[in-house]
Structure 1
Amino acid sequence: MDGIHIAIAILLLYWIVVIILDRKGILEKYNISTYGPVLMIRTTKGLKLLDKLAIPKKAWRIYADIGIRLMFVGMIAMLFVVILSDLAMIASYEANTMPEPSKFNEARNIFLIPGVNEFIPLTWGAIALLVTLVVHEFSHAILCRVEDIRVKSMGILLAVVPIGGFAEPDDEELFGKREEELNDENDPYGDRRLGIIIDKKSEEKTIVKTDEKVATRTQRARILAAGVMANFVVAFLAFALLFGPVLGSLAPLGDTMVVGVSEDGPAYSAGIREDMIITQLDDTSINNVNEMLDYLDGLEAGTSVTVYASTDREISSYQLEVTDTDIDPEGVLIQSIVENTPAEAAGIEAGTHILYLDGNPIYTYTDFSEVLSESTPGQEISAVVENDEGETTEYMVTLAEHPDYEGRGFLGVTTTSGGNVATSLGFSVGEYPAAEYLELLKGIPGMLGGVAGWYIILVLPISGFAGEGFPGFSETLSQFYVPVGWAEPFGIGIFWLANTLLWVGWLNFYVGLFNCLPAVPLDGGHVFRDSINAFIYKVTGNEEKAENVSALITATFAMMILLSFIFMVIGPYLVYGF
């Protein structure tokens, strides 16, 4: 039985125990309620702390007022994203280019639940979710006390382990039994508490005064926006630390990683293992695969080489001999063929590998680029291409002129590294652009002046810069970097800190934006409904009409948003089948 099955078994056993205790009334006795397998454990302890935290009322109101404005900005942004996504799906459907079903539109990946959403790692995701829920709920609670709304209890959410915290305001004071309102100079309903009484015989509705405490529209908006504001503030702080001092304390060791070594070969016997980072050969620093291959090309078989390699940021030396100077090239992978180009005319296909170009072996993309950079328009060259079955075909291609570089030949393919590269030391290496990628990450804050930067932040852990995603520093990825400066004493802990900040920042940002959507029961939905209600009342002067129309508009938006999310999930299945 693997870890997943054990976890499911523990969860089911826990859920059975919860059901039994709930039915016997034991949980209710201790003021505990259940929502499926989740326990809400309430307490009134700590309520006095809320009152103390709420003392600087003016500062908290300014904080919440900023939150209201950010909520409307987020509301517009999220509506734009939803509408744009729907239009893109419809356009792709009409053009018969609908993407096939994938993990990006699986239903489970819509929910931001660690362990359910496959993009969110369990450990870092659980920490981030806990922080997200706690700051969101307790920000609501503090603003409740600022606006003199009663908080009935606080507590934790438990599902085998704690998964969040909550604060429970008095809903009747916050929303009113019939959406009652207070009048003040900022509220269109005046300075009275209003209620609706229905005469059962005449069915006439009369607005009367009531002495029950009900939050004004402005107070309610502040309370609801406080949770979103808290998420945005935490996201800002987490990202500021991540993209600033934390990433700034990392330095790349090199780009060349050992990806394959035969267990019965001399390299393995000497101590070379997979995931090692090659930093130096003899007295020559190695920054990438090409530098390693260039150095080895100048050595004869039997030459002794001292290999310096890093494991967990500890560099050791290994003595090896050059055993084979005739290494077959792995080539570069052809990702796509540009239309109306020499490659298309010659019959070269996407998904194959170019092993030789004009007689030159192609080990890496650099080799491929160097051959073409020295070519000229009209030059005829040979291209030896290998397909997935290992069959090779030689094509004779007459190059066109490069569209961007005058006087340079143009083949018409987009390529990427073919993968592993065999070396004459008895092991294979791969290349990861560690330094370039680190600079890209550190440069994200500078991109936030445009839409592209915000989009990258929104999809960073899922699709990243080019579809690969950046879920944090995995054990393998962290091998490429070493902490320096203030972070050096932390060792591997700096990568744990980076992962925590990444997921705390991203989850708070995403949850904050999601809660801005104008759909009840989300915070943005309540604020949107109140705003529409106030606008219609100001225009018509009719409380009942304002209430009914605002409820209808909000319900319509909620339904449209729900259907949009459903369409994003099932759209590809409508074309390709379930």
Structure 2
Amino acid sequence: MLNPILIVILIIIAWVLILAIAAPFIRKSKHFSFMGPAIMVKAVKNRKIMDKVSSKFPGIIFSRLSVVLVIISSVIAMVFLLYGSYLATIEHNVRPPSLLLYLVLPGINPAIPIVYGTLSLIAAVVIHEFFHGIVARKHNITVKAVGALFFIVPIGAFVEPDEKEVTEANPVVRRRIFASGPGINIVIAFVALLILLFAMAPLATPIHQGLYVESVQANSAYSKIGAQSEITSVGNFSGEDLNSILENATITPGEMTNVTVFNGISLVKEKVPAGLVVVGTIKGFSAYKNISLGSIIYSINGTHIYNTTQLTSILDHIPPGNNITMSTLTYTNGKSSTFENHTLVTGSKYNYYAQYDPSANRVSYKNQSFIGVEISYLGISSVPINEIRSEVLGTTMLSSPWYGTLSAIALPFTGLSPIPGKLASLFSTPFNPFIFWGLFNTLFWLFWMDFLLGITNALPFFILDGGQFFKDTLKISSRRRIFKKLGDDKTIANISLIMNFIVFFLILWEIVALEHI
């Protein structure tokens, strides 16, 4: 089977060859031309619809609003770039993302769904270009052509104002034209977000109160629980009490315990061994390669370990460098094996935090032990159902705007948008779930694509709308006495060049820094 990346490369090579062969014919045609590696299919007549819309649309007011929106968006975009570069600099021991994730192309970027991604991208680009034309016509700038843009498949539309008229236009008018595209994208993103947060999200409520299972320890006695299901009870723990079971469990380690699981259709009762399960070990500490993944921590120095509170308390009272005896219990095909006793030399909690989370380190950790195990209760990775609800429905943005916005943008990369069917089945909806979640996902991708297209185009970079917008802003500012020196075209060009370099460097740094972690 061919590698997907190789298939994409072969398709692109074939496209380039087709363009090379067709180039002489395309250059002679008034209906076709190139835009980089894409083909522009032009309609040079019948643009009356744009004139009709511009005559009735409050284009002047909208274009002024767009200028404000682009200024705000460019600041947000630069903050994102700076923040991303900062994280790429300080993050350690993380797996760098695939380079395909940097391409906002459905079918190539694995995080972007083909249907929702393609439709939302085309809609965002078409509306973006259409509003460039509407505002241009509102300011009496000739629109020479409109049409479709192809890069292997249709990827959007374009509007081609008269270049000479745009160049000779007042910088205020020119800035409004360039701002209108990103401006309408931001408006659409904002409207879609408001509908999601205040009309759609409140209608989806959890059927049960429990723990959403993100993943389960592979090949373990817990596999029967199943990922993307919901645990509604464990022994005597149920409802919101499950949120603290990791810290407060009182069930004897290894004891077969009743667990109720909601699979989106019905409640199923299972029996699994209770306890803290080792789901990972950390290199450089004594548990690494000595403790089998999937093992239940039974006891330390003869004391049963029921929960993380007890585990932490015991290790905190043992100075680093001491020997401890850890007993573990493993299950194969639902049946317990014999106990295993491990003699481990404790490491320093201070050294662990110094390496993996320096900002959370404390001097007191120097006298506390660490053995290097990553654990979970019942071998599952889980979050409260209301917490995952806030995340996938975007309502985290209301309580924590900065984190919530980053979380919403990251949903496609965490596999939570479009919302997986199994997860969606854990919620009740006011009408047919297929229609409800289809509408919800459509609105989300309109928000996602328009938001990213809007703030990206607002960046002061020469190939984007924000590049010319930035130049015109400097030109307009030079009319004020305090910025009079900016009126020199050479000065404006030099400042723009510096800004282009900064933007390019930040983008490149984020990619290079992560790739070389």
Asked whether the two chains share a fold, i.e. TM above 0.5, the reply is yes
Partner SS state of residue 458, structure 2: coil
Q: Given the alignment of the two structures, is residue 49 of structure 1 paired with residue 56 of structure 2, yes or no? A: no
**One-letter code aligned to 2:396:** I
1:60 is matched with which residue?
59
Please report the TM-score for the alignment, with normalisation by the length of structure 1.
0.65
Q: Distance in 2 between matches of 1:107 and 1:376?
A: 42
Deviation, 1:42, is 1.5
Q: Report which of the two structures shows the higher radius of gyration computed on alpha carbons.
A: 1
- Work out which of the residue numbers 83, 106, 129 in structure 1 matches 2:121: 129
Partner SS state of residue 156, structure 1: strand
Structure 2 CA distance for partners of 1:455 and 1:431, relative to 1, 3 Å: closer
- Work out which of the residue numbers 519, 529, 532 in structure 1 matches 2:474: 532
Q: Given the alignment of the two structures, is residue 483 of structure 1 paired with residue 428 of structure 2, yes or no? A: yes
**One-letter code aligned to 1:384:** M
Structure 2 contact 346–371 (Cα < 8 Å) conserved: no
Deviation, 1:16, is 4.0
**One-letter code aligned to 1:562:** F
Structure 1 contact 32–40 (Cα < 8 Å) conserved: yes
Q: Distance in 1 between matches of 2:10 and 2:245?
A: 52
1:330 is matched with which residue?
277
- Work out which of the residue numbers 245, 264, 267 in structure 1 matches 2:199: 245
Deviation, 1:355, is 1.6
Q: Distance in 1 between matches of 2:371 and 2:111?
A: 28
**One-letter code aligned to 1:444:** T
Structure 2 CA distance for partners of 1:144 and 1:17, relative to 1, 3 Å: same
- Work out which of the residue numbers 418, 426, 438 in structure 1 matches 2:375: 418
1:462 is matched with which residue?
410
Q: Distance in 2 between matches of 1:78 and 1:284?
A: 45
**One-letter code aligned to 1:481:** L
Partner SS state of residue 127, structure 1: helix
Q: Given the alignment of the two structures, is residue 227 of structure 1 paired with residue 156 of structure 2, yes or no? A: no
Partner SS state of residue 243, structure 1: helix
Structure 1 contact 255–277 (Cα < 8 Å) conserved: yes
What do the CA deviations read for 1:99-125 (whole angstroms, capped 9, x no partner)? 478534x65444433344454344433
1:433 is matched with which residue?
384
Structure 1 contact 515–522 (Cα < 8 Å) conserved: yes
2:211 is matched with which residue?
255
Q: Distance in 1 between matches of 2:372 and 2:442?
A: 35
Matched ranges for 1:133-282 at <5 A: 133-175=125-167, 180=168, 215-252=169-206, 253=208, 254-255=210-211, 257=213, 259=216, 277=230
Deviation, 1:68, is 0.8
Deviation, 1:145, is 1.2
Partner SS state of residue 266, structure 2: strand
Please report the TM-score for the alignment, with normalisation by the length of structure 2.
0.72
Q: Distance in 2 between matches of 1:376 and 1:351?
A: 18
Structure 2 CA distance for partners of 1:533 and 1:505, relative to 1, 3 Å: same
Q: Distance in 1 between matches of 2:249 and 2:197?
A: 35
Matched ranges for 1:512-531 at <5 A: 512-531=454-473
Structure 2 CA distance for partners of 1:277 and 1:78, relative to 1, 3 Å: closer
Deviation, 1:230, is 0.6
What's the C-alpha RMSD, in Å, of the aligned pairs? 5.1
Structure 2 CA distance for partners of 1:469 and 1:226, relative to 1, 3 Å: same
Structure 1 contact 280–309 (Cα < 8 Å) conserved: yes
Identify which of structures 1 and 2 has the higher relative contact order when contacts are C-alpha pairs closer than 8 Å and 6+ apart. Answer: 2
Q: Distance in 2 between matches of 1:316 and 1:326?
A: 19
1:20 is matched with which residue?
21
Q: Distance in 2 between matches of 1:309 and 1:540?
A: 68
2:505 is matched with which residue?
563
Structure 2 CA distance for partners of 1:100 and 1:117, relative to 1, 3 Å: farther
Q: Distance in 2 between matches of 1:568 and 1:299?
A: 46
Q: Distance in 2 between matches of 1:69 and 1:256?
A: 42
Structure 2 gaps of 5+ residues are 329-339, 350-359, 361-366
Partner SS state of residue 488, structure 2: helix
Identity of aligned residues (%): 21
Q: Given the alignment of the two structures, is residue 500 of structure 1 paired with residue 442 of structure 2, yes or no? A: yes
Partner SS state of residue 501, structure 1: helix
**One-letter code aligned to 1:524:** G
1:70 is matched with which residue?
69
Q: Given the alignment of the two structures, is residue 368 of structure 1 paired with residue 320 of structure 2, yes or no? A: no
Q: Distance in 2 between matches of 1:75 and 1:144?
A: 22
Deviation, 1:519, is 2.6
Q: Distance in 1 between matches of 2:45 and 2:419?
A: 40
**One-letter code aligned to 1:435:** N
**One-letter code aligned to 2:211:** D
Matched positions, count: 476
**One-letter code aligned to 1:65:** R
- Work out which of the residue numbers 386, 393, 398 in structure 2 matches 1:446: 398
Partner SS state of residue 157, structure 2: strand
Structure 2 contact 147–158 (Cα < 8 Å) conserved: yes
